[in-house]
Amino acid sequence: MSMETLTIEKIGLSGDGIARGPFGPVYVPFTLPGEIAALAVNKDKGTVMSLSGLSPDRVAPTCRHFGPEGENGSCGGCSLQHASDDFYQSFKRQIVLDALKSKALVAEVGPLVTAHPGDRRRTVFTARRTEKSLLLGYNERESHNIVSIVECPIASPGIVSRLATIRTIAAAMAVNAEPFRITVLETAAGLDLAVEGIKALPDRQRRMAVETVLGEKGIARVALNGEIVIEPHKPVIDFGGISVSPPAGGFAQASKPAEDAMAALVTSHIGKAKRVADLFAGSGTFALRIARTARVHAVEGEDKALKALDYAARNTQGLKPVTIEKRDLLRRPLMTAELKIYDAVVFDPPRAGAEAQTKELARSGVKKIVAVSCNPVTLVRDLRILVDAGYRITSVTPIDQFLWSSHVEVVATLEK
């Protein structure tokens, strides 16, 4: 541990300020470029003791739980509430520009599609029972300590207004003092709670959890490790006017406005395509919207998500035929010969990207491709493969789905 006074030079990919220390870079949370920080430095981590020369881009945080002076601790849910909108939005767009440059890719990058407070319909809380109460909130940065929250400006009002209810249900399910996770999804039928990290509920405690849920309003379903504990109402989310009941604990885009923006870019680019493959299709975020105008083959590795997609497709009038295929595309991508029948392909892989699938796509000659990604680093790796095979990037759009974080979604469109 040493005491240093350093100038913050830039913001890193995690949202921390970066200063040049005597032995290399020092990462300093809650700072902005140009600020002078008196720091307690431990290896490459800096803790601010005082700040001077405050940046004109510094603003007051929106949430009482944010930052080193946060109530109940320093909440790790956000990293950039202290930055002005202009600085923050430019930072996120620059992440995409830098990623493209790292692979020598030339593309027109559109303005950031912005996020707003209250947009998040899905969030993940950590909970833990203590001797006196139950903690419910987010972990501190790089810590197992839980910041118990009473507000959350990023989450939807439907979630925030039921924090007490979520806490009551979590308390009924806590079997010991070990922490566990609760993924909360707001649906048209009420909140969908997916609990993970509790191995099993004893029968007595399961009955207690069921009785607790029945005594509370606004809860559609509670599941433990993917298995339904109680489902008073079937959860329903909307994919462009098509109702889907997602599987318990299944993936859903965290923000509906962000999802709608991504879907609009996807459907606009594929245009009048007649046959489309939607790879890593999930529960049908894009496939069901595309099916209004084109035949769709939806490929997904998760069986429950695929069944939800299939059920929605079969029970929605006016859609073109939708076929489904369960397949682990990371290990067994659709091959070039299989892809040749499609006019357009959409792929939205996990953070690791879709390198193997992209190599097959590159050889396929499919006329139009849309790549959707939550990780610009793996996205540009995959785009480089396609460009080297003769594809042209026609647009790149950064989308802010996780407000005040360093994460950015990207939609890239390509043509052969």
Query: Do residues 216 and 147 both lie within one domain?
Result: yes
Query: Do residues 411 and 276 both lie within one domain?
Result: yes
- Cα–Cα distance measured from residue 392 to residue 390, given in angstroms and rounded to the nearest whole number: 7
Whether 141 has a pLDDT exceeding 90, the answer reads no
pLDDT of residue 1: 81
Residue 94 within any structural domain of the chain: yes
Judged by average pLDDT, the poorest of 37-46, 268-277, 341-350 is 37-46
Q: Please spell the DSSP secondary structure of 306-338, one letter per residue.
A: HHHHHHHHHTSTTPPPEEEEE--TTTSPPPHHH
Residue 110 within any structural domain of the chain: yes
pLDDT of residue 142: 82
HSE toward the beta carbon, residue 32, CA cutoff 13 A: 17
Query: What's 52's domain CATH number?
Result: 2.40.50.140
What is the tens place of the pLDDT at every residue in 168-198? 999 999 999 999 999 999 999 999 999 999 9
Residue 104 within any structural domain of the chain: yes
Residue in 154, 149, 188 with CA at minimum distance from that of residue 166: 149
Query: Do residues 129 and 260 both lie within one domain?
Result: no
pLDDT of residue 380: 98
Residue 160 within any structural domain of the chain: yes
Residue 129 within any structural domain of the chain: yes
Query: Do residues 321 and 378 both lie within one domain?
Result: yes
Annotated catalytic residue 75: no
Query: Do residues 281 and 389 both lie within one domain?
Result: yes
- Cα–Cα distance measured from residue 58 to residue 11, given in angstroms and rounded to the nearest whole number: 13
| Domain with 216 in it | 122-230
Query: Do residues 170 and 152 both lie within one domain?
Result: yes
Query: Do residues 260 and 390 both lie within one domain?
Result: yes
Phi, psi for 321 (deg, rounded to 5):
-60, 135
- Cα–Cα distance measured from residue 77 to residue 120, given in angstroms and rounded to the nearest whole number: 12
| Residue entry with tokens 């796509």 | 361
**Residues β-bridged to residue 7:** 36
Which of 63, 78, 152, 374 is flagged as catalytic? 374
Query: Do residues 287 and 346 both lie within one domain?
Result: yes
Give the pLDDT mean for 395-409.
Answer: 97
Whether 46 has a pLDDT exceeding 90, the answer reads yes
Q: State CA 271 to chain mean position distance.
A: 27
Query: What's 94's domain CATH number?
Result: 3.40.50.150
Give the pLDDT mean for 219-234.
Answer: 97
Whole-Å CA distances, 282 to 247, 270, 300, 383, 414: 10, 19, 6, 22, 22
| Residue entry with tokens 């396609």 | 386
pLDDT of residue 132: 87
Query: Do residues 126 and 111 both lie within one domain?
Result: no
**Binding site members for S-adenosyl-L-methionine:** 253, 280, 300, 348
Query: What's 137's domain CATH number?
Result: 2.40.50.1070
Our count of domains for the chain comes to 3
Residue 377 within any structural domain of the chain: yes
Query: Do residues 281 and 381 both lie within one domain?
Result: yes
Residue 215 within any structural domain of the chain: yes
Angle at 342 between CA 336 and CA 347, to 5 degrees: 75
**Binding site members:** 253, 280, 300, 348
| Cβ proximity of 254 and 123 under 8 Å | yes
Sheet holding 122-129, edge to edge: 146-148, 134-139, 122-129, 180-187, 190-196, 219-224, 227-230
- Cα–Cα distance measured from residue 182 to residue 367, given in angstroms and rounded to the nearest whole number: 42
Query: Do residues 142 and 279 both lie within one domain?
Result: no
Residue 63 within any structural domain of the chain: no
Proportion of the chain above pLDDT 90, given as a percent: 96
Angle at 277 between CA 271 and CA 279, to 5 degrees: 120
H helices present in 180-322, as ranges = 203-214, 256-270, 287-290, 303-314
Query: Do residues 346 and 363 both lie within one domain?
Result: yes
Q: State CA 47 to chain mean position distance.
A: 28
- pTM across the whole model: 0.94
